[in-house]
Structure 1
Amino acid sequence: MPDWRRATGRKLTAMRRVRSRRSGGRNDIDEAGASGTMALILIENFRAVFYTPFYAAFALNAYEAEGLEVQRVMGATAAETAQALRSGRGDVAWGGPIRLLLDNNQRADSDLVIFCEVVRRDPFFLVGREPRPAWQLEDLPHVRLATVNEVPTPWLCLQHDLRLAGLDPAQVRRIPDRSMPENLDALRAGDIDVMQAFQPFVERAVEEGVGHIWYAAASRGLTAYTSLYTTRQCIIRDPEGLLRLTRAMYRTQQWIATHSADELAACVASFFPDLPRPTLTAAIQRYMTLRLWNRTPMLRPEGLAWLDAACRSGGYTQQSVPYDRCVDMRFAAQVIRETPPTFGDDPGHATL
């Protein structure tokens, strides 16, 4: 379970330490370029290679460079994360926009809002036992497919791919109730023909010679996949903190765009202590080649619209959610206009 009490205590300590003095009726912390640390609690979704930019921001000391003390707390369910944000036990979370689409379908007064996009394409793959260089979606109903059971988004997106290709997802011989580690074992044993997975399971299958990439979902184009989100109350309460957070992520995105997979893997390796460096590097390289990560914090409407349509076609939501109802790009637009300086080539060391 998340250690909310410890994280909240640290935040309060930091806030007391840096509480600004009043000077002539003006709060020093609000001045442009003012020094002083601000504290935020950031709720992590789960540990995954496709979340690399989030870890890179810590490893590069991007938040410290912006005068932010960010406490990272591991979240649980999407509902519990939303409750933590609304209660003030957390300030910001990262996760899929699907969470906000569902929340808006369940609550007419949903106050969750995306303010910074990081993962702009689908990080999942279809990995088959046999090489199929000419494979097409039309071939999927003829094989045994093991899909992801950890989260709903991968199958919702894949079934929408099928519908757009004129196929019926119900015709797929799908095994939906096993985890990605279990599906990799099944692929090794020959119990399935193809598995749906993200990195590093894809790279492991390829390295072992038991798997061949049939389809990279990122190749379909923009699909809003992971963003930083908060509540509208937090935007009102702490706009300066969210602006600094967005700027830190933008500077991280720019660093990633100008560095190699080897350098990025070295930057975030401490977040994946059980993953061999060559595997991590290969996984990151594959994602970079697919242009998985956004180079700016700006979420484009067409990426969210595609995900919204997939959620509705898969029966996960019923009503379309307008872009402006769950997205506020004010901070993203501001930091892009500012063109902040990039980081040097001497990244800091993250504390796990």
Structure 2
Amino acid sequence: MNRLFVFTLTILLLFMTGAAYAEELIKVRLCEVVHSIFYVPQYIAFNLGYFEDEKLNVELSTAWGGDKAATALITNACDIALIGPETTIYIYKQGAENYLVNFAQLTNRAGSFLLARKPMPDFTWEDVRGKVIVGNRPGGAPQMVLEWVLKRHGIIPQKDVKIITNLDFTANAGAFSGGLGDFVQLFEPSASRLESEKVGYVVASLGASADPVPYTVYIARKKYIEENPEIIQKFTNAIYRAQKWVYSHSIDEITNTIQSFFPDTDPELLYSVVKRYLEQDTWAHNPILTKEVFDHWQDIVIEAGVLDEKAPYEVLVNTIFAKKAVEMIQ
């Protein structure tokens, strides 16, 4: 009887301790634009407990589209979104009062790759002239970067090369496998998967071919940041710790740490993807989004014909939290 009493009391105490611990964590709803290995530091922050260390209970959801992630933010369906900074520009230009603000940069380069139907070890961008590329939707970050790179190499989109832009990016790999196009622009792990199937071969990295850009950034509503500065600081601290961890650990360690977020991805494939991204310095080394990089991104958006003039950096970018994280965390 005494043993039963002690056992019951122990279980009750454990339950109460766990409940108390859960209650002291602050809930944060995070929405990522897509679920991708491209966002390695974010998953590191989850699996190494960096958010919990900051007393945050971060609930992750995936929007599967930039417009959907932005809508989730605007309608208060999430608190923070991982999305391209061009979204903040578009919404600000529309005159929104509670516009979106960039506060922490995650990726430092574009994350897509160009694949051909056969190995091309001596590939140059001139090789796409007169060909067909399966690209992405107009105005989206992947398509804007592709067009920027093509123009830098003297190739005029839709004149010197045809680009198919009416497919959802999730359909590109299947369309290319089915015979559409001479080249295709893909993110990982789709690029490595087609290589393993000997259907396509990576011939160029859009990230390596373009200058550093703030491809994906953590964003929140202006009022949310103003009303919850401690949460934003804690969140940024966790991301910065993850960024530092990524660049101080091996590919094997990174792969093993994020494997749970990609249970259906073969470990060898995951390793190759992480290796490819790490070697091209894909992830930002700290969360500070500089004016130089933000303005360069606006140059790309303007050249794509989506934006007439630049939006003010001082309004759409808040570096207070990122700078404080870098200062505090050694």
Q: Scaled by the length of structure 1, what TM-score is found? A: 0.81
Which residue of 48, 65, 68 maps to 2:56? 68
- Structure 2 counterpart of 1:61, one-letter code: G
C-alpha distance 123-82 of structure 1, shift in aligned 2 (>3 A) = closer
| In 1, Cα distance between equivalents of 2:306 and 2:42 | 27
Cα distance, 1:169 vs structure 2:
1.0
State the match for 2:188 in structure 1: 199
Q: Deviations over 1:185-229 (max 9, x none)?
A: 444454421110010111112222232222101112211101111
State the match for 2:201 in structure 1: 212
Which residue of 85, 96, 105 maps to 2:73? 85
After superposition, the CA RMSD in angstroms is 2.5
Q: Deviations over 1:238-263 (max 9, x none)?
A: 11111010001111111111112221
State the match for 1:259 in structure 2: 249
| In 1, Cα distance between equivalents of 2:164 and 2:63 | 27
Match status 1:123 vs 2:111 = yes
Which residue of 287, 303, 321 maps to 1:297? 287
Cα distance, 1:37 vs structure 2:
3.0
C-alpha distance 330-80 of structure 1, shift in aligned 2 (>3 A) = same
- Structure 1 counterpart of 2:34, one-letter code: F
Match status 1:139 vs 2:127 = yes
| In 2, Cα distance between equivalents of 1:82 and 1:188 | 31
- Structure 1 counterpart of 2:295, one-letter code: A
Cα distance, 1:83 vs structure 2:
4.7
| In 2, Cα distance between equivalents of 1:311 and 1:151 | 8
C-alpha distance 133-79 of structure 1, shift in aligned 2 (>3 A) = closer
Cα distance, 1:319 vs structure 2:
2.3
Cα distance, 1:79 vs structure 2:
4.8
SS in 1 for 2:118: coil
| In 1, Cα distance between equivalents of 2:141 and 2:134 | 15
Cα distance, 1:283 vs structure 2:
0.5
| In 1, Cα distance between equivalents of 2:43 and 2:89 | 25
Contact 2:237 2:329 in 1 (8 A): no
Which residue of 263, 268, 282 maps to 2:258? 268
| In 2, Cα distance between equivalents of 1:150 and 1:160 | 12
Contact 1:222 1:302 in 2 (8 A): no
Contact 1:95 1:226 in 2 (8 A): yes
SS in 2 for 1:94: strand
How many residues end up aligned between the 2 structures? 310
Contact 1:123 1:217 in 2 (8 A): yes
| In 1, Cα distance between equivalents of 2:153 and 2:195 | 27
Gaps of 5+ in 2: 1-18
State the match for 2:270 in structure 1: 280
State the match for 1:335 in structure 2: 325
Which residue of 149, 156, 171 maps to 1:161? 149
Cα distance, 1:179 vs structure 2:
4.2
Q: Which moved more, 1:41-50 or 1:325-334?
A: 41-50
SS in 2 for 1:243: helix
| In 1, Cα distance between equivalents of 2:67 and 2:143 | 20
Match status 1:319 vs 2:313 = no
Contact 2:138 2:165 in 1 (8 A): no
- Structure 2 counterpart of 1:222, one-letter code: P
Cα distance, 1:135 vs structure 2:
2.1
| In 1, Cα distance between equivalents of 2:59 and 2:193 | 32
| In 2, Cα distance between equivalents of 1:94 and 1:46 | 9
Which residue of 26, 33, 41 maps to 1:53? 41
State the match for 1:32 in structure 2: none
| In 2, Cα distance between equivalents of 1:320 and 1:64 | 38
Contact 1:103 1:110 in 2 (8 A): no
| In 1, Cα distance between equivalents of 2:93 and 2:133 | 30
State the match for 1:21 in structure 2: none
SS in 2 for 1:305: helix
- Structure 1 counterpart of 2:323, one-letter code: A
Q: Scaled by the length of structure 2, what TM-score is found? A: 0.86
Cα distance, 1:63 vs structure 2:
0.4
| In 1, Cα distance between equivalents of 2:178 and 2:147 | 26
Which residue of 75, 86, 92 maps to 1:104? 92
- Structure 2 counterpart of 1:203, one-letter code: S
Q: Deviations over 1:264-313 (max 9, x none)?
A: 11111111121111101100110000100011111122322222122111
Q: Which moved more, 1:146-155 or 1:95-104?
A: 146-155
State the match for 2:232 in structure 1: 242
User: Identity, % of aligned pairs?
Assistant: 28
| In 1, Cα distance between equivalents of 2:254 and 2:248 | 10
